[in-house]
Amino acid sequence: DSGVTQTPKHLITATGQRVTLRCSPRSGDLSVYWYQQSLDQGLQFLIQYYNGEERAKGNILERFSAQQFPDLHSELNLSSLELGDSALYFCASSVDAVNSPLHFGNGTRLTVT
């Protein structure tokens, strides 16, 4: 168990809908990362937060947004969902923003129908 908790484990929704994925980092970790894993694109970095502030942004669509709250948990919001958004979404956390390894949660499997 990595100590990173992601909910829900599975999510099935229709096109055009909006969903929220939640992540609780390991105790003591200040940095949270979101990754998308799809069959054709592999693991793609979406966004990173450190101690509540956005630190880095990757290939995140404008329909997607995220935030990290004062208690350090993070949420990834996906709106106007399309079939192509179906993927496994991982949250990871690390102690700091630069040097420490990332520890991943078990992911949220999103299926858009």
Partner 1 sequence: AQTVTQSQPEMSVQEAETVTLSCTYDTSESDYYLFWYKQPPSRQMILVIRQEAYKQQNATENRFSVNFQKAAKSFSLKISDSQLGDAAMYFCAYRSPWGGGSEKLVFGKGTKLTVNP
Contacting positions for partner 1 (CB under 8 A): 2, 33, 35, 42-43, 45, 48, 55-58, 88, 90, 92, 97-99, 101-104, 106-107, 109
Closer by beta carbon to partner 1, 46 or else 72: 46
Cβ closest to partner 1, residue 73 vs residue 103: 103
Indicate the residue type of 106.
N
| DSSP tag of 97 | S
Q: Which CA distances in Å does 87 have to 16, 21, 35, 82?
A: 16, 12, 10, 11
Tell me the closest approach of the beta carbon of residue 99 to partner 1, in angstroms: 6
Smallest distance, partner 1 to C-beta of residue 16, A: 27
Total H helices, total E strands in the chain: 0, 11
Measured CA to CA, the distance from residue 14 to residue 48 in angstroms comes to 27
Select 79 or 86, whichever has its Cβ closest to partner 1: 86
- Report, in Å, the least distance between residue 101 CB and partner 1: 5
**What are 75's two structure tokens?**
């949420």
